[in-house]
Homo-oligomer: A and B are copies of this chain.
Amino acid sequence: VQHYGVMAVSPGRGSYHRRHHRTSYHHGDLANALADAATEMARTGGPNAIVLRAAARAAGVSAAAAYRHFADHDELLQEVRRRALDSLAAAMRRSLDEEEPLADPAEESLRRLRALGRAYIRFALEDPGLFRTAFCRPDNPVPDAAKRMATQGPYALLSGVLDELVEHGVLDADRRAGAEIPAWASVHGLATLLIDGPLAQITPEEQARAVERSSDFMLNGIKGHRDPVA
């Protein structure tokens, strides 16, 4: 077997260039290498920063080679999107076990809800580019993505904890249906306002306070009201 020398390719100029030690003519795992590079671009500059040619450059491969693994630019973007959503879900899942569980089951389920929200916000603040990619408008909306999210993504995690809240009497069963949406909306809105919107300008301390205030308000909304005004 004749091997090409390592790095025997034209010097990459993209800032995302990661040398993938090519030891043979065939790359071996080009699909993943391209997705890795594209993900790195998204991390830095959001969905618009994903450039197929640059990804190929970063992988040390001609642009045309990318078309062996992705039908077109959009398919590459969708792959990055999928990864971003997976990362977000993973971060949320991890957050559930980061703190000590509380003895009282009701309080414990509230703690878990808070943890999910905080992980969501934290992800958005730490990786705004990836976060924006996860929720970027797809060129041709693929309902599959929504399905996946519903069964194993952030939505499913939220659903599970809301079920726990019902189980332990925090959330009335008759207010359970569709409760994912308000909860998700409030945390998602806060995240986007913090990274893209006017709240991006405020200090980190103010941001932290805003996060706490928002979860308090939303938890109040979840818990329901005993003495409604209207």
A213 at the interface (CB under 8 A from B): yes
**Smallest Cβ-Cβ distance to A188: which chain B residue:** B189
Per-position 1/0 for A182-215, Cβ under 8 A of B: 1111111111110011111100000001100110
Q: Is the CB of A192 within 8 A of B222?
A: no
Instruction: Report the count of interface residues on A (CB-CB < 8 A).
Output: 56
Copies of the polypeptide in the assembly: 2
A209 to B150, CA, bound (A): 18
A122-179 interface (Cβ within 8 A of B)? 135-137, 141, 143, 145-146, 149-150, 155, 170, 178-179
The A interface is mostly helix, strand or loop, or mixed, namely: helix
Q: Is the CB of A190 within 8 A of B201?
A: no
A110 at the interface (CB under 8 A from B): yes
Nearest CB on B from A165, distance (A): 10
A146 to B183, CA, bound (A): 26
Known: A136-B196, A182-B217, A182-B218. 10 other contacts (CB 8 A): A107-B230, A150-B198, A182-B210, A184-B189, A184-B193, A185-B187, A216-B221, A217-B221, A218-B221, A220-B225
Chain A residues with CB under 8 Å of chain B are 46, 48, 106-107, 110, 135-137, 141, 143, 145-146, 149-150, 155, 170, 178-179, 181-193, 196-201, 209-210, 213-214, 216-230
